[in-house]
Chain A
Amino acid sequence: MARSWQLKAGFMSEATLAIKKISGHPGPAPGANVERDYQVAKLIDTTTCIGCKACEVACLEWNGYTFTETFFDNSYQTMPATTWNYWNLIKFNEHEREDGTLQLLMRKDQCMHCADPGCLAACPADGAIVQYTNGIVDFQQQNCIGCGYCVSGCPFDIPKFDPTTKKMFKCTLCVDRVSVGLEPACIKSCPTGCLHFGSKEDMSYLAESRAKQLRENFGFEKAGVYDPSGVGGTGVIYVLHDVTNPEAYGGLPKDPHIPWVVRFWKGPAKWIGNLAMLFGVIGVTIHYFRYGPKEIHPRHDNGGKL
């Protein structure tokens, strides 16, 4: 059976999505910004998630993967993290509140589809990662060289390596469905309606109203929307009971941003390094023009008069 990414590769080339950014591409991305598309977003309301894992199953089904072996570690957690063929995982966290009561936090973990994607910034392979104008960040496995730079670039620890095909994988936000006007598979499966999909604008509005409701009617004073500005906002946004403590939700970073090392490496370091190499080559060439090759002078026997 052909792997789903191979099928998708064929399919994707016919997709009508406009491209915004391409990884590892010399010069501007062809066709970038010629078309405006509205930004899409997935809204995850952690306050109404019941941890049923229907979204996990829907993700596996749509993308053609099978269920993976689970483990038991005295909690509801079935596996520690997403894997290359398991893109969507509920993180369960038992959180002790200040008054000593217990709260079970459940967060659907997957790629955040950052507006400023660190994976894409780090990737050296032309076209292995693309960002569409609708905000979806998608890996194109046929161009991926499996170098793992995206792993260093991502502030959410999302890209995962398949050792067999030597390619990276992660949630595609069901780009193949979205590009033909369908909503992502996980959204369809959610029984409580804690998942929503639509334009970023609509989802932000919905999220803010829900947070307001939580603050005003349910006593969650710190309820708010997680849409971190450090990565320019994300295509997946959360409503959290306590937006001041996202770490409690299975390590959601408080202020994610592309690591400064990655920024420097992919920015100024390139120019410093390239210019240094260029000047090195020019330097020795000019030296040759000026001084030429060394002469043989064996009979000159002062042996160095200095």
Chain B
Amino acid sequence: MSSHVISTPRTTGEPGERILRYTLTERVNHWFAALTYIYCLITGLAFWSPYMYWLAAIVGGGPTARFWHPWLGVAFTVSVFWMHQMWDRDMQITDADRRWAKVIKLYIENDDQNLPPEGRFNYGQKLFFWLMFYGIILLLISGIGLWFVEDIPWSLRWLRYLSVTVHVIAAMATIAGFIIHIYMGTAMVRGGFTSIIRGEVTADWARTHHRLWHEEVMRRQPPPGAVGSRK
């Protein structure tokens, strides 16, 4: 079930009113993905550069980091596929996104009043989702090559070299997205961080950042009296 059809509490349209943006399941999924990714990031960076090898110490030392990195990578892959299961439909690029993308400069410059309205996720969020989705597929495949490097026969050793190359490039691409994602979710778009923890945003927030989604929520609001279950 796509999450934007969940029943929301009665929406009155009051400016300070809180509406449900992420269900409990979505929030659990997000943090499962976030923590497993961050673990892979810390340990991966430790192996990446001698100047960051100390990072391995904060997760239990080099051998421990080496043992868990691939497993938590697999866990992260699972969480991303689960997320895909829930959000695939919400993440499709729409005409609204295409209009928005044309004037993305206004978004970057915080001139949001002049932006065309967006749905539940904006174009940037969707790009980040697909970057992570395709990124993890590459990371998984190349990661298995690194994991079982000795089992790649000598005659196919180009696969060993390819695994390293693909893993590093895919990791760097996801890190680029990750930096922007963290910045936007904590510093730039205030209220986003609490929404992914407690699930709620204010109606004003919804109208500002995801107007089409807010309008949809308003349309779907249950008739007065029939209070929807809050997940």
**Residues of A with Cβ closer than 8 Å to B?**
24-26, 124-126, 143-149, 151-152, 157, 160-161, 166, 251, 259, 261-262, 265, 269-270, 273-274, 276-277, 280-281, 284, 287-288, 291-298, 300, 302-306
Contacts and interface: CB of A to CB of B under 8 A. Distances in A.
Interface string B140-164: 0000001101100010010011101
Contact of B115 (A269, A274, A304): A304
- Interface SS, A side: loop
A274 B165 contact: no
A276 B176 contact: yes
Contact of A295 (B49, B110, B154): B110
Contact of A294 (B154, B175, B189, B211): B189
Interface of B: 15, 46-51, 53, 56, 62-63, 65-67, 99, 103, 106, 108-110, 112-117, 146-147, 149-150, 154, 157, 160-162, 164-165, 168, 172, 175-176, 179-180, 183, 187-191, 202-205, 207-209, 211
A151 B149 contact: yes
A160 B150 CA distance: 8
Nearest to B180: A284
Nearest to A124: B47
Contacts of B203: 298
Nearest to A285: B183
Given A284-B183, A287-B183, A296-B205, 5 more contacts: A144-B63, A261-B161, A288-B183, A292-B110, A306-B106
Contact of A148 (B110, B149, B191, B204): B149
Contacts of A281: 179
A93 B184 CA distance: 63
Taking each of A269, A281, A294, which has the highest tally of chain B beta carbons within 10 Å of its own beta carbon? A294
Contact of A125 (B53, B108, B154): B53
B65 A145 contact: yes
B150 A161 contact: yes
Contacts of B161: 152, 259, 261-262
18 contacts: A145-B56, A145-B62, A146-B66, A149-B47, A149-B164, A152-B161, A261-B161, A262-B161, A265-B164, A274-B51, A277-B179, A288-B188, A294-B188, A298-B203, A298-B204, A298-B205, A300-B113, A306-B116
A303 B211 contact: yes
B93 to A, nearest CB: 17
A118 to B, nearest CB: 12
A145 B63 contact: yes
Contact of B110 (A160, A294, A298): A294
Nearest to B209: A294
A300 B65 CA distance: 50
A294 B190 contact: yes
Contacts of B180: 280, 284
Given A146-B66, A160-B150, A166-B63, A261 B50 contact: no
Interface pairs A-B: 6 shortest CB-CB: A304-B116, A145-B62, A261-B161, A298-B204, A298-B207, A284-B183
Contact of B50 (A126, A144, A149, A160): A126
Contacts of B208: 294-298
Given A124-B47, A148-B149, A306 B189 contact: no
B63 A288 contact: no
A202 to B, nearest CB: 33
A292 B190 CA distance: 10
A284 B179 contact: yes
B165 A291 contact: no
Contact of A152 (B63, B114, B164, B205): B164
A258 B209 CA distance: 52
Given A288-B183, A300-B113, A124 B50 contact: yes
Contacts of A304: 99, 114-117
A287 B180 CA distance: 11
A306 B146 contact: no
Contact of A306 (B114, B157, B190, B207): B114
A303 B117 contact: yes
B209 to A, nearest CB: 8
A261 B47 contact: no
Contacts of A302: 113-114
